[in-house]
Structure 1
Amino acid sequence: MADAVVPHFANDAGHPKIRIGVKEFMCVGARPPFDHPHIFIDMGDESEQVCPYCSTLYVYDHALNATETEPAGCLFEPGRAHAA
């Protein structure tokens, strides 16, 4: 059920930093089949957090909505095919 409300982000391109518009999210690493365990990350009072698996630095940006990322294209929608 939580998958429906918690955004998931992927980093196929190996970006060192991804700006996102939420502080609670799931990191999947790269998209399947190259993903790591999908982990929940909560920034709490902080504005950035590093994924312990893929070392992606996620930075909170209040100007972005929950499904936007900078660079664009890092939103992962479980169960939906990804166009290359």
Structure 2
Amino acid sequence: MAGHIVPHFHNGPGVPVIEVGAKEFMCIGAPPPNDHPHVFLDMGGESEIICSYCSTLYRFDPALRSGEARPADCVWQYAPADAA
């Protein structure tokens, strides 16, 4: 896979809030293989949203780029299948 346009975030560290630089993104819950069904979230005009599947609170931070998060390890990056 060459990558994805919609950023994907997870709450593997179990933090109470994840700050993100995108208002439209996917929550995967935890890193695979413990991920939940990938949920598309759209904040619209709001600055926060809660994932209806895992209850992670995401907060928009305009200082971050679209694919960035705080904590940074909450960004999910797909690894190519043949990278092993």
Q: Does 1:5 align with 2:5?
A: yes
| Number of equivalent positions | 78
> After TM superposition, what 4+ stretches of structure 1 lie above 2 angstroms from structure 2?
none
For 1:74 and 1:21, locate their aligned partners in 2 and report how far apart those are by CA, in whole Å. 12
1:59 corresponds in structure 2 to 59
TM-score (norm 1): 0.86
Gaps of 5+ in 2: none
TM-score by length of 2: 0.86
In 2, Cα distance between equivalents of 1:67 and 1:7: 5
Farther off after superposition, 5-14 or 69-78: 69-78
CA distance in 2: counterparts of 1:67 and 1:73, whole angstroms: 11
Question: Percent of pairs identical after alignment?
Answer: 55
Rg larger for: 2
Q: CA deviation at 1:53?
A: 1.1
Distance 1:13 1:4 in 2: 23
- CA deviation after TM superposition for structure 1 residue 55, in Å: 0.8
Q: Distance in 2 between matches of 1:73 and 1:14?
A: 11
- Partner of residue 70, structure 1: 70
In structure 2, C-alpha distance between the alignment counterparts of 1:62 and 1:47, rounded to whole Å: 10
Does the residue aligned with 2:39 lie in a helix, a strand or coil? strand
How far 1:77 moved relative to its partner?
Answer: 1.9
Letter in 2 for 1:20: V
Gaps of 5+ in 1: none
Shift of the alpha carbon at 1:34? 0.6
Match of 1:38 in 2: 38
RMSD, matched Cα: 1.4
